[in-house]
Structure 1
Amino acid sequence: MSFDWNYFASLFTLESFWMACLQVIKLSAAAWVLGGMLGFLLAMAKLSSSPLLRSPASVYIWFFRSVPLLVLIVFVYNLPQLIPASGGLLSNPFWAALIALVITEAAYMAEIHRGGLISVAKGQREAGKALAIGTIGAQWLIVIPQAIRISLPTLINEYVTIVKLTSLASVISLTEILTVGQRLYAQNFLVMETLAAVGVYYVLIVTVFGFFLERFELSLDLNRRKPQTLDTDQTLALRSQAAGYKKRHQSRSISSEPVLQLLGIHKRYGSHEVLKGVDLEVKRGEVVSIIGPSGSGKTSLIRTINGLEDINQGSIRLFGRDFIKSGAAVEGKQRTFRQRVKHIGMVFQGFNLFPHRTLVENITLAPQYHGNCKRESRLNAYALLDRVGLLAHSCKYPHQLSGGQQQRVAIARALAMSPDIMLFDEPTSALDPELVGEVLEVIKGLADEGMTLIIVTHEMEFAMSISDRVVFMENGVIQFDASPKEIREAVSAERVRRFIGLSEPDLEKSSRCSVG
């Protein structure tokens, strides 16, 4: 039996097939969009810390990933037999098929979205928290855009799957492509030719819509975007606009009143206690460097100051008022806590810039979230970028910069909130040696301007040259807290001198120079 090519070709002129194609497109597109939205809500619920949300979402995903779609389509279509009131909607094959598809696809797409959400680095959420952005705001502005980019290739593949699954709706006589084909070959028995045409129609839909969805995916691929460095004229124009937003330098002075007090701070990770009753007081305008061997609790300590780590015992006071007590914001008022944490800027070891936003957008995100004027926020961002020497790169994305440049942008982002205290968590440890100097120069500039700085660092020479006090931590406690001069001269500072590599000949030389 030969293949009837003339009949096969004639099937592409039939209006019924093209109308069925339109039906498939409407059904698949609606199921993809609605299933994606419901799936995202399920993913968020499954990742929730609340069992009341997590458990039902997990059961839903488990159950509807287990039930065959064909069974669900037939069940939904016949549901009016149990619930007569649903007959007006579910007796229509299109709506029955759509509901069944959405219910099933939501379960599958929930796992796709969950994969995207958990792929977003923890540091992104921490950066949002350090900028006093609330949980919902951080999800909407920081996490979700990145998660969607991560999930999009798999979501597009799921659309292809949905297009093919629409053929199962033929079981309830929905007029889609396979149904039209079945009616034709039931009349003329040209099964092979008809099914071949049906296959071509499905391939055509997948190809056309897959092309546009892949183009959309490529448009969101930040790695394909070319770096945009502003020319000299553009840079000068922005510098002129932002001139009024440059910070006025103030004289270097230290007040007598403490701006920050840590009282009896204890911190445990499980049974391991990393902070064992730390007391620390920092005055306005003071530069305090925290040094010590790895595992001494330096990073844990600095992260408790703005609530990135809970404390198990003790309290933290900011500007003489209770700020954090035993692992929670005072009185549990998160809004009050966020208002106060805005006074504390944070620069992370790993930069934690938002990769889906340009440098300007990174800097303006938090101020605009907190209600600042968009134009003023942008002008301030340009001024800050100029301050750290990166104004010409303002339209670039973080991945288009070197590590040292990214860290300088992170400093500018923290400064955009006009903080009273700046925290630096080993700001140079992730940098190549030749990039360390440019970051340290920016930090030194902040110290010269009178900014209160708390710096966790392994740059011993820098710490000794810039600090008013150097705090040496070991085994979860502060072993020594003194000025660089005292560390060089005090007999009790021998352990600290050994750690920073300050030898006895150096001390003798320093002593002879001071006598001379």
Structure 2
Amino acid sequence: MEIISAKKVSKIYSNGQGLKSVDFTISKGEFVGIVGESGAGKTTLMRLLCGAIFPTDGELIIYDTDMTNIRRARLTNLRRKISVVYQNYNVIPCLDVARNVMLGRLSEVSWLETIRRLFFLNREELGEIKSILEKLNIADKLNERCQELSGGQQQRVAIARALYSKADLFIADEPIASVDPATANLIINAFKDLKYQGKTIIMNLHQLDHAIKHCDRILMFEQGEICFDGKPTEFAQSSAYSRLDDKDLQMGVTNE
């Protein structure tokens, strides 16, 4: 089942072009890795897919919704199906970890229920949140404020928030950029669990070894265009892969 279709999609900014007439489709249940050097168009793609920006030209269809001509109410409904992990975490520093994770489901409840959850989480809700945090090896931080956590820990809270949502499509922009190798594996495996549940994962990855090992498919961007679209095993033998010869891109960077 095809959930995303891009036909000749371009995005032009005032200071240059982000994407140049790209074509691709993504099916339900795929785990797609997006790779390429900085400035290649990866983040522009992510922002287009979550409705943060819109195409300048071409046709982008997500869940039968035309993103080039979408009304605000329709966009709000579409975003309920999509969960995004941003590079800058977007956690609320003054709230504890549990409540930051709880924010992943706010689009599904009334404002009264939102207020209730900000002041009181019941045993079932706390249990579900703690279970997700355990997958990411951060359950011991359940009651700590996010401002007291390291950058890598805050990133895991943001990922836990996404996992707690009931979305069908998960878009993650560099979710393992600030963690050690062991934690990176925990995060990747948590997303793979979602794939096994039939969810769709699109992940912007700087670490090519993880992309090749874990993704079903790789899209590589180069100067705003797709220069590779295929299986990880084919990518590892391709000229596109050999062009990414920077050591940090090949093996990944840890800065937690």
Residue number in structure 2 paired with 1:361: 99
Deviation at 1:324, TM superposition (A): 1.0
Deviation at 1:439, TM superposition (A): 3.2
- SS of 2:61's equivalent? strand
User: Could you tell me the TM-score, scaled by structure 1's length?
Assistant: 0.43
Task: Please give the per-residue CA displacement for 1:431-485, whole angstroms capped at 9, x wherever unaligned.
Answer: 26xx253034222332144242111111011111011111111111101111112
Structure 1 Cα separation of the partners of residues 137 and 66 of structure 2: 35
1:458 aligns with 2:206: yes
1:324 aligns with 2:72: no
Residue number in structure 1 paired with 2:31: 287
Pairwise CA RMSD of aligned residues?
2.3
Q: More helix per residue: 1 or 2? A: 1
Residue number in structure 1 paired with 2:135: 387
Q: More strand per residue: 1 or 2? A: 2
Deviation at 1:296, TM superposition (A): 0.8
> Quick one: structure 1 residues 497 and 416, their matched pair in 2 at CA, closer, same or farther if it must change by over 3 Å?
same
* Count, aligned residues: 234
Give ranges in structure 2 of 5+ residues lacking alignment.
248-256
Q: In percent, how many aligned pairs have the same letter?
A: 27
Counterpart residue identity of residue 151, structure 2: G
> Quick one: structure 1 residues 399 and 439, their matched pair in 2 at CA, closer, same or farther if it must change by over 3 Å?
farther
> Quick one: structure 1 residues 379 and 340, their matched pair in 2 at CA, closer, same or farther if it must change by over 3 Å?
farther
Residue number in structure 1 paired with 2:253: none
Within 5 A, what are the aligned runs for 1:383-462?
Answer: 383-429=131-177, 431=178, 435-450=180-195, 451-462=199-210
Deviation at 1:378, TM superposition (A): 4.2
Deviation at 1:263, TM superposition (A): 2.5
Task: Please give the per-residue CA displacement for 1:335-379, whole angstroms capped at 9, x wherever unaligned.
Answer: 221121121111111212111211111122342453176435444
Within 5 A, what are the aligned runs for 1:174-253?
Answer: none
Give ranges in structure 1 of 5+ residues lacking alignment.
1-256, 503-516
Q: Which aligned runs of 4 or more in structure 1 are off by greater than 4 angstroms?
A: 376-379
**Residue pair 2:136, 2:183 contacting (<8 A) in 1 also:** no
Greater C-alpha Rg: 1
> Quick one: structure 1 residues 482 and 368, their matched pair in 2 at CA, closer, same or farther if it must change by over 3 Å?
closer
Structure 1 Cα separation of the partners of residues 158 and 50 of structure 2: 16
Structure 2 Cα separation of the partners of residues 354 and 314 of structure 1: 36
Counterpart residue identity of residue 261, structure 1: S
> Which one of 68, 73, 76 corresponds to residue 335 of structure 1?
73
Structure 1 Cα separation of the partners of residues 12 and 147 of structure 2: 35
Structure 2 Cα separation of the partners of residues 322 and 347 of structure 1: 22
Point out the more displaced range, 384-393 or 296-305: 384-393
> Quick one: structure 1 residues 378 and 289, their matched pair in 2 at CA, closer, same or farther if it must change by over 3 Å?
same
Residue number in structure 2 paired with 1:346: 84
> Which one of 218, 221, 224 corresponds to residue 470 of structure 1?
218
Task: Please give the per-residue CA displacement for 1:299-355, whole angstroms capped at 9, x wherever unaligned.
Answer: 111111011122212232223x12411xx5x2x2x2221121121111111212111
> Quick one: structure 1 residues 442 and 427, their matched pair in 2 at CA, closer, same or farther if it must change by over 3 Å?
closer
Structure 2 Cα separation of the partners of residues 483 and 348 of structure 1: 25
1:488 aligns with 2:236: yes
Counterpart residue identity of residue 337, structure 1: L
Structure 2 Cα separation of the partners of residues 352 and 467 of structure 1: 25
Structure 2 Cα separation of the partners of residues 268 and 364 of structure 1: 36
**Residue pair 1:292, 1:298 contacting (<8 A) in 2 also:** yes
